[in-house]
């Protein structure tokens, strides 16, 4: 426990010394004795945690001293110690916010000890909560959760800051592994709702028949097996933020009910009648193009416009330039710290290999690659042979992007241009295509040397 500074205001020096001696039995208590209210007030700059006040002082009564203490510092806890058992006065003072009213008798010092112990425990708990809140805020600093200095990621930071300043709904898009949930948490914990709940729901993991009860909860007896009331995710997130990951997987039958809840800002549990008012910020995420899903009839247009809010598209790792090496070093240092090993960094060849890879699994895949490389490393630097990629998984992830043949062609040519430092003749030979084809794509700004 932290030190607790206690002021005792007592005009009976013998009684005051008894209280001081008793409280000093706890070495974490720092106790100061004052014979009157004036002396106590002159030392409030020391910021005591607790002041015990004799109700009948020679220069002022307890009420007046309490008033003057609170004019200077309202956070100080006050305990009245009186020679008289005046119930009406005690009730009045307790209602005004003092911590306790004690009558002088043989048990006073023990009662005082217990009261101060409770005050200390409450103070320490509040301090711990405040510390955790500060740590949480630091943990979700935008540049703490998303490492990078590329122009692409700076644009993302800018949009996240705009989102955090308002209550607008947010839709986050991006490939698998780009960190959509982390971005949602960062927005929440940097907003005015930061002290309220953040509730995440992965739509792809919830069976279709359970989505409604998972969202809105249910009453006891609503259906077979509902043996008690269940609070839904929206109700859990009330006054805070709900994050709906993979929103594109939401069944059409539930989309209409979600739309009604968002429009009316209230819900009714399954099997219930009570309308529960809602104040919830909605952040959604998907790897799908919701606009295309609307055109295909898989997603309601009215719900789309209700949730789209501020769109944030997370760039894939392959478009973040030297962020790859910055992230690689961060993951390496983190892994070495956790596993108590020493690896300085990467050889030039290992860096080159990392920069040439396409990262279909994005940041999540890079972390897995670096963790494995650190395990395989036999020296003080990660070498080229320590860095390995999963070819099968890479091809699967590449196909999941569902690009046009033209887009895939440009991606392949661009990869080889980077690999061979922009040497068009070498790339044309490697890919068995005409060099004029590549030059034409460069001229049309489809490729950049």
Question: pLDDT digits over 60-97, tens only?
Answer: 888 889 989 988 988 899 999 988 888 888 888 888 88
pTM of the model: 0.57
The reported pLDDT for the residue numbered 144 is: 65
Mean pLDDT of 22-36: 91
CB-count burial class (<10 Å; 0-12, 13-18, 19+) for 417: buried
The reported pLDDT for the residue numbered 380 is: 92
Taking only the tens place, the pLDDT of each residue in 101-137 is 999 888 898 999 999 999 888 888 877 776 665 555 5
DSSP secondary structure of 187-254: HHHTSTTTTS-EEEEEGGGS-GGGHHHHHH-B-TTSSTT--S-B--HHHHTTTSEEEEETGGG--HHH
Q: How many residues does the chain have?
A: 449
The reported pLDDT for the residue numbered 136 is: 55
Residue 198 β-bridge partners: 241
Mean pLDDT of 161-167: 92
Sorting pLDDT into bands at 50, 70 and 90, what band is 433? confident
Does 179 have pLDDT greater than 70?
A: yes
Does 318 have pLDDT greater than 70?
A: yes
Does 199 have pLDDT greater than 80?
A: yes
SS3 state at 291: helix
């Amino acid at each position: 426990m932290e030190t607790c500074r206690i002021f005792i205001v007592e005009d009976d020096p013998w009684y005051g010394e008894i209280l001081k001696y008793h409280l000093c039995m706890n070495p974490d208590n720092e106790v100061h004795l004052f014979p009157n209210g004036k002396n106590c007030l002159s030392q409030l700059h020391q910021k005591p945690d607790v002041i015990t006040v004799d109700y009948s002082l020679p220069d002022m009564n307890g009420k007046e001293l309490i008033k003057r203490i609170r004019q200077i510092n309202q956070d100080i806890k006050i305990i009245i110690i009186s020679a008289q058992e005046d119930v009406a006065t005690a009730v009045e003072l307790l209602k005004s916010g003092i911590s306790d009213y004690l009558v002088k008798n043989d048990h006073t010092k023990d009662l005082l000890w217990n009261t101060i112990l409770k005050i200390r425990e409450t103070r320490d708990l509040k301090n711990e909560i405040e510390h955790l809140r500060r740590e949480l805020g630091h943990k979700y600093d935008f540049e703490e959760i998303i490492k990078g200095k590329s122009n692409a990621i700076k644009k993302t930071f800018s949009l996240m800051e705009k989102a955090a300043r308002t209550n607008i709904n947010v839709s986050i898009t991006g490939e698998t592994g780009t960190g959509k949930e982390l971005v949602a948490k960062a927005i929440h914990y940097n907003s005015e709702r930061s002290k309220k709940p953040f509730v995440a729901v992965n739509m792809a993991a919830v069976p279709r028949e359970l989505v409604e009860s998972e969202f809105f909860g249910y009453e006891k007896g609503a259906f077979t097996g509902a043996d008690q009331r269940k609070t839904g995710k929206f109700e859990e997130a009330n006054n805070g933020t709900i994050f709906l990951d993979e929103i594109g997987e939401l069944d059409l039958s539930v989309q209409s009910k979600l739309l009604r809840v968002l429009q009316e800002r209230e819900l009714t549990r399954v099997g219930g009648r009570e309308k529960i008012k809602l104040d919830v910020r909605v952040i959604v995420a998907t790897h799908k193009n919701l606009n295309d899903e609307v055109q295909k009839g898989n997603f309601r247009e009215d719900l789309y416009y209700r949730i789209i809010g501020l769109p944030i598209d997370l760039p894939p790792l392959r478009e973040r330039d030297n962020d790859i090496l910055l992230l690689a070093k961060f993951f390496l240092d983190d892994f070495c710290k956790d596993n108590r090993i020493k690896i300085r960094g990467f050889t030039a060849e290992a860096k080159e290999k990392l920069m040439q890879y396409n990262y279909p699994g994005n940041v999540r895949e890079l972390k897995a690659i670096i963790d494995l490389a650190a395990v395989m490393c036999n020296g003080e630097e990660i070498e080229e042979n320590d860095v390995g990629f999963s070819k099968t998984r890479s091809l699967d992830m590449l196909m999941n992007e569902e690009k046009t043949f033209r887009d895939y062609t440009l991606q392949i040519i661009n990869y080889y241009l980077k690999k061979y430092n922009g040497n068009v003749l070498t790339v044309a030979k490697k890919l068995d295509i005409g060099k004029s084809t590549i030059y034409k794509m460069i001229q049309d700004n489809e490729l950049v040397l």
